[in-house]
Amino acid sequence: METVALDDAAKQIVIIDQTKLPNERRMLRLSSLKEFYDAIYLLQVRGAPAIGVFAAFAAYIDACSTDASDHDTFFGKWSDDLDYLNSSRPTAVNLSWALTRMRKVVEDHADEPIPQILDCLRDEALLIRKEDEASCRAIGENALTLLKPGYGLLTHCNAGCLATSRYGTATAAMYLGHERGYDFHIYCDETRPLLQGARLTAFELAEAGLDVTLQCDNMVASLMATGKIDAVLVGCDRVAANGDTANKIGTSVVATVAKHYGIPFYVCGPMSTIDPSIETGADIPIEQRKGEEVTDMWYSSRMAPSGIKVYNPAFDVTDHSLITAIITDRGICYPPFCFT
């Protein structure tokens, strides 16, 4: 099943509802702006590259719903819709990157009839998806040059097929290595509080036949101390110009412990995830989510005192000094990082 697919005839986006995995494989068909916003905010679709593809499809379908007869009216309403969609998740740069790219299509074809503009938007959205798949494979090929057969690999959150069009970013080398008999052993952090590692990464890698072990986030130091981890590979939602990287909450902890044990820590992501307009990680906006995700979500009854305050950032920033290399679709970047 494709993580994000376009049904052009029905003017719908078809996605796997990732909030239901691994127990239910539920497909959603979405066609309205509110449904698109909710799918991103509620994490029915997630992962920076997949969100970028989804946003491109959403921009196209939203444009198809226009009844405007002139360009200015069409562009004004559609542009407002894109701004609304962009507010659904502020940290992952691929969302704004894809919407900006779609907006430029309309600007570049301002003198053409609206039906032709819609065709151009569809072609651009499909191109973004095609590029994402090629990008993920290239990341995997580049990462594989740093890994040896038999390695124990640790990953955090989900930067796999479910977060992209195919292959994943942090998992791309794992899939390619599996195809080539590298015999990797993969360790997945459960990734509190939303359990993307347990529900998604462990699920998709096991389904593909890889050797996978799941552990709680706070077991990372214990695991690394055993010598079973040869490298850490994680995805990224935004990389600042100096290499500081925003990723799922807990990533910076893994990086810090890996540094202590002398284990290479690799960040994997497409060039579109690098945001040179952000000087350092201190400038990356961090999404704060509802406390119920910590106190209630996975329990049959509330597992915290009523009225307790909850700190629940969705992401943290890994300092560039903790990163061994940033593996992109265009090559491997080593310190000192300087993206301009």
What does the DSSP assignment read for 62-125?
Answer: HHHT---SSHHHHHHHHHHHHHHHHTT-SS-HHHHHHHHHHHHHHHHTTTS-HHHHHHHHHHHH
Q: Which residues, including other chains, have CB under 8 Å from residue 82's CB and lie 6 or more apart? A: 59, 62, 99, 102, 103
Number of residues that this document lists for the chain:
340
Sheet with 315-318: strands ordered across: 238-239, 245-248, 315-318
Ramachandran sector of residue 43 (left: φ over 0; alpha: ψ -120 to 50; beta: rest)? left
Residue 46, helix vs strand vs coil:
coil
Catalytic residue among 237, 244, 275, 329: 237
Q: H/E element holding 10?
A: none
Integer Cα distance of 14 and 317 in angstroms = 32
Among this protein's residues, is 237 annotated catalytic? yes
Looking only at the bridges linking them, the beta strands covering 265-268 and 325-328 are parallel
The residues that are catalytic are 237
